[in-house]
Chain A
Amino acid sequence: MERFNVYASRLITKKEYFSPGHRACQGCAEALAVRLVAKALGQNVIVSSATGCMEIVSSPLPFTNWRVPWIHVAFENTSAVASGVEGGTKALIRKGKLPDKGTVFLGMGGDGATTDIGLQSLSGAFERGHNFLYVCYDNEAYMNTGIQRSSSTPFGAATTTSPAGKLKPGQITWKKNMGEIAVAHNIPYVATACSSYPFDLIEKVKKAARIKGPAYVHVLSVCPTGWRIPPNKAIWIGRLAVETGVFPLYEVENGKYRITVDVPELKPVLDYLKPQGRFRHLTPELVDQIQERVTREYNQLKAKTAL
């Protein structure tokens, strides 16, 4: 498999649709994920983006990093904008005003735009069955505004609004399981991905784009700035998230679960937590608590793949 991946890298287009020169932080694995998604989808796409890091770093008027059609309206409404882009194009094609080019409609947003403020809009678009792909770039906090907690911030992480103090150990709630929320909408395709596993990510995005109806890909996007790690450790941390079972890579096609990057034996979560400054205050008891939860959830996921 490893050797196949080395070979496969040559099959990935050298073209950049999310161009160099954007203003993301050093080591931003979210910008890398956006770049890989853009490569996977190619030229024939219309992107609707939420307000957030990726919007701000890529579109300072009059510049743009987007070599594909791209629209940003606001923060919480990306899925509705994408619904309009899809619906409008569909109507124009049906009425003979535009040729049908099989364009892919992509909605994208961070974890705040997806799991918090934009959840209603996303749920509405899933329920209405628009033919679009939504990619959530999850860096586990509101990084653009200065690392505030979201419902996607993991238990125990210190952020600027869930600081580790004398009474509270950082975030005191557990990460919202957005993948399962998407699955509950009975949409045809849901997957998780991580830019530390580029081929897995690209394959999933391509598959999601081919599928008719709503598709959802949740991408763990390591944020060195917010996670308090050196920029050159982002890819490594993303790998550890998968290898410890904290963020398993799987897909759900028409309700059928499949783990795409199998980890025969999970590494201890401490391997993942220890290098990150946002977890530095955790006590052994809290680490045990996290370990217990991660193991249980990983086993539950495994059980679903056997169904």
Chain B
Amino acid sequence: MGERVGIEVSLAAAEAVKMANVDVVAAYPITPQTHIVEHLSELVADGELDAEFIPVESEHSAMSVCCGSSAVGARTFTCTSSQGLALMNEIVFIAPAMRLPIVMILANRSLSGPLSIWNDHTDVMSVRDCGWIQFFTENGQEAFDHVMFSFRVAENPAVSLPIMMNMDGFVLTHVIEPIEFWDQETVKQYLPDFEPVNRLHPDNPVTMGAFGLPGIFTEAKKAQDQALINSKPVILKAWKDMGDLVGRYYKPVETYHVEGAETVFLSMGSVGETVSLAVDQLRAQGKPVGQVKLRLWRPFPFEEFREAVRGVKQMIVIDRAITYGGVGGPVASEIRSALYLEENMPTITNFLCGLAGRDVTAEDYMAMFEKTEQMAKGKVRQEDYIIYGVRE
């Protein structure tokens, strides 16, 4: 096993990309993604990483370069945030349709306007339906481990889909944490070389990106949907194998104090650790409260999620994005439909908080619990979401 080092999470992620021996990195600078690509360009400049670093003129071109390099069978990485994701949006939807196993770290940041560089999930939620495998990391160790995981899953011939690793901007990307590195031998054992199903090469000409007439389009989309659904066993196996190698076992849905819990918080990303503090304090007060963390977002882990919340009476869903004039946050909306046909569906309250880096403390989550207790006495409808912490 590798050594444990104190390092900024962005740099650790970049080091992991280096250890994965990536062939092409194409990126355009945007806060708070910058430290990752800066470090990668340093590694290339120093000859520590043998890769083409392509400093493109926009994120739209970053994702386009990634499509080209992945199509010739090169292991490909990019990284962006917020407006960058919005600019590359068009190509983000095309990459999975072309089954190109690009790995992208999304350093989550609020979408403009007003312009903000700080963290929430409005960027990733804007591409919820893009067809990528999408998951969230909660701390630096998870971020490091999941770089290797991402390449392994995406490039698996049975999957061959791009993968988006979400990492909260600043609160995760810019903090220094103790992280246990893998040694190169472990990486080699875990991550095989990339052998593309098809590659653009003159010896075996293939046509990629043909257009679909109505007579074939639906079938192409069904195949794509099935490919994403089918990636789940590969994902589970990759987590199992990682656990066996490095001793950290990850799951699509993580639980904390759910035994006997009547109320559970549901969170995604780095706020999970703060929510856990609130759960500890509420438990200390004798309140039967637990926590569920969604790590895997696409494909949605229906089975594991329903299992995790079975018997729960109340759920407090934390959303970090707004669906304006709609049914609450995007996460709550998904949770409600995932549970719709369950017997004894819990009451679901939905708090939109932590927008654009607004701090949300354990006390805030405890206040949300109190509010939920009051609300649950009446009927809670899906449009009754609360944007938490608004100064009146």
Contacts and interface: CB of A to CB of B under 8 A. Distances in A.
B315 to A, nearest CB: 40
Contacts of A101: 202
A46 B200 contact: yes
A80 interface: yes
A69 B206 contact: yes
Contact of B98 (A55, A73, A92, A98): A73
A55 B50 contact: no
Contact of B72 (A62, A89, A128): A89
A160 interface: no
Interface in B198-212: 200-202, 204-212
Interface string A119-160: 011011001100000000000000000000000000000000
Contact of B67 (A63, A73, A128): A73
A92 B206 CA distance: 19
B48 to A, nearest CB: 14
B58 A124 contact: yes
B65 A81 contact: yes
A95 B23 CA distance: 9
A92 B199 CA distance: 12
Contacts of A86: 68
B282 interface: no
Interface string A64-100: 1011111111101101111111111111101101100
Nearest to A95: B50
Interface in B32-84: 50-52, 54-58, 60-62, 64-74, 76
A59 B209 contact: yes
A69 B201 contact: yes
A89 B196 CA distance: 13
A57 to B, nearest CB: 10
Contacts of A48: 68
A276 interface: no
B212 to A, nearest CB: 5
Contacts of B72: 46, 84-85, 88-89, 92
A103 interface: yes
B363 interface: no
Contact of A94 (B50, B70, B208): B50
A85 B31 CA distance: 27
Contact of B23 (A67, A88, A120): A88
A55 B208 CA distance: 11
Given A60-B211, A92-B73, A121 B216 contact: no
B26 interface: yes
Interface in B205-234: 205-213, 216, 220
B259 interface: no
Interface of A: 43-46, 48, 55-56, 59-64, 66-74, 76-77, 79-92, 94-95, 97-98, 101, 103, 120-121, 123-124, 127-128
Contacts of B193: 97
Contact of A85 (B57, B61, B71, B91): B71
A89 to B, nearest CB: 5
B236 to A, nearest CB: 30
B57 to A, nearest CB: 3
Given A73-B68, A101-B202, 17 more contacts: A46-B200, A60-B210, A61-B210, A62-B210, A64-B207, A68-B205, A72-B211, A73-B94, A80-B64, A84-B69, A84-B71, A87-B74, A91-B50, A91-B69, A92-B74, A121-B58, A124-B61
Interface of B: 23-24, 26, 50-52, 54-58, 60-62, 64-74, 76, 90-91, 94, 98, 193, 200-202, 204-213, 216, 220
B202 A45 contact: yes
A82 B26 CA distance: 13
A93 to B, nearest CB: 10
Contacts of B56: 80, 83, 124, 128
A77 B64 contact: yes
Nearest to A103: B202
A124 B57 contact: yes
A72 B55 contact: no
The CB with the most chain A CB atoms within 10 A, among B74, B201, B206, is that of B74
Nearest to A71: B208
Contact of B60 (A72, A80, A103): A80
A113 B220 CA distance: 26
A111 to B, nearest CB: 20
Contact of B91 (A77, A89, A98): A77
A87 B58 contact: no
A282 B69 CA distance: 48
A74 B220 CA distance: 17
Contacts of A68: 202, 205
A70 to B, nearest CB: 5
B209 A84 contact: no
The CB with the most chain A CB atoms within 10 A, among B65, B193, B204, B216, is that of B65
B91 A44 contact: no
A83 B54 contact: yes
9 contacts: A61-B210, A68-B202, A71-B209, A74-B94, A85-B68, A87-B68, A88-B73, A91-B69, A101-B202
